[in-house]
Structure 1
Amino acid sequence: MDSCCQTSTEKLTTPLQCPVCHKKGRKIQLITIKALLQPTALETIHPDLTYAFCANSSCEVVYFSDKQTLRKDTLKVSVYQKDNAFDVPVCYCFGWTRERLAKAVQQYHHPIEQIQQQVQANRCGCEINNPQGACCLGNVTTFIRTLVEI
């Protein structure tokens, strides 16, 4: 299996349109959906369909296909892009919430470097743990930038 934090031009290139907000989504692996849906929602998926992730923060839909939408209340975890709470993970594999990142930055620690070390040690599992099914380092970097700009 490829490392979740390696760039792949094949895995996630098919843009699909969310039927609720009409924003483009990105194709997501079925393993991500299977890992993160609550059991009752898992029973409703169609494994033969192509699903995509909706990153629009104002949309309730997390995953969608041409026949189904799965809303954020069907997941086992809160979705970073859809929940602004401070206790929501930004990095799902290593437990870096907005709160933990903010504290680390205030204390002049380097959470990005710590996460990168874990990724380089082949310990990340973003394709299973992160609802967007991709590496979280972009989200972590963006969030830290917002802290520095304040």
Structure 2
Amino acid sequence: MEEKCPICHQISEKVKSITVKHLVSDNFLGEIVNEETYYLCMNENCDVVYYNLNNESILDKKKVKVPIWFKGDANPKYICYCNKVTEEQIINAVINQGAKNINDINKLTGAMKNGKCMLNNPLGKCCGPIVLQTIKRALQTNN
């Protein structure tokens, strides 16, 4: 069963509480329940970032420490949170420096080095697929 955001009713992604705890502003740590399953609302126009299954805790963009890359107003738009590499840096590496794959991006931007994705990425997992999507989009734009 797909979980949907209690506010916008769009599909969400499951995230571990350790990720939520690491990214929520200190003032709101008390709202995080250990071992509770959390979800990240994937709607770019919704202010909700995380919520739990019981809908007892809804954490919006104002309650997290980092901008969420796919949310419409994210600034900067980090793709690799561990190394603070932005969408703009990846696109620049493809268009202006000839990057064509993850290895090139890694060498040119430092993305995906020294990763602690479970703690730093809002999804709590490797940014590799998002780096690949960004490379493909930049390559299509450049052709």
**C-alpha separation between the residues in 1 aligned to 2:44 and 2:119?**
21
Counterpart for residue 99 of structure 2: 109
The answer to which of 69-78 and 110-119 deviates more is 110-119
* Identity among equivalent pairs (%): 32
**C-alpha separation between the residues in 2 aligned to 1:112 and 1:84?**
26
Partner amino acid, structure 1, of 2:49: V
Unaligned regions of 5+ residues in structure 1, if any?
A: 1-13
The answer to whether the 8 Å contact 2:85/2:111 transfers is: no
Q: Name which structure has the greater RCO, CA cutoff 8 Å, separation 6+.
A: 1
Shift of 1:60: 0.8
Number of aligned pairs? 135
SS of match in other structure, 1:53: strand
SS of match in other structure, 1:124: coil
Matches within 5 A, 1:63-82: 63-65=50-52, 66=54, 67-82=56-71
Partner amino acid, structure 2, of 1:61: V
* RMSD (Å), alpha carbons: 2.4
Unaligned regions of 5+ residues in structure 2, if any?
A: none
Instruction: Provide TM-score, normalisation by structure 1.
Output: 0.77
The answer to whether the 8 Å contact 1:15/1:27 transfers is: no
